[in-house]
Structure 1
């Protein structure tokens, strides 16, 4: 059986902030393996797998591209 670690240590090991661990759980990339009181616990190998999956996803999905056109400004009006 693998040792279980808390969210802060999991974040530190993956090089992210604890909010990222919570986001991975919310998105289904990471599942808690247990809990201690209200604190969720994770397997380190699961944390690393979620981190690898996050790197494979294209960055900025749903966000406007830097320097992209916002739909306002100098563009001529259609018509």
Structure 2
């Protein structure tokens, strides 16, 4: 495993253009998992391809508010 190809959530957000909080949300919801055993300091590490895959596979449906009064 090459650590140069792994990114912290902050670095992955900068590289991909997604918000850091979105990456944390995808982890919490099970769409994305950090690389097992890979850390830089206390930060978990991610592959960019996994971040992009999480964005593609997450549920894109949004709850809509009812217009009925």
Under TM normalisation by the shorter chain, which class is it?
0.7 to 0.9
Q: Which runs of 5+ in 1 are unaligned?
A: 74-79
Q: Displaced runs of 4+ in structure 1, greater than 4 A?
A: none
When the two chains are superposed, the root-mean-square deviation of aligned CA atoms in Å is 1.9
Matches within 5 A, 1:53-64: 53-54=57-58, 57-60=59-62, 63=63
Which fold has the larger relative contact order, with Cα–Cα distance below 8 Å and residues 6 or more apart in sequence? 2
Q: Figure out how many residues of one structure are paired with residues of the other and give that number.
A: 65
Normalising by structure 1, report the TM-score: 0.67
Which structure has the larger Rg?
1
Q: Structure 1 or 2: larger helix share?
A: 2
* Alignment TM-score, normalising by the size of structure 2: 0.75
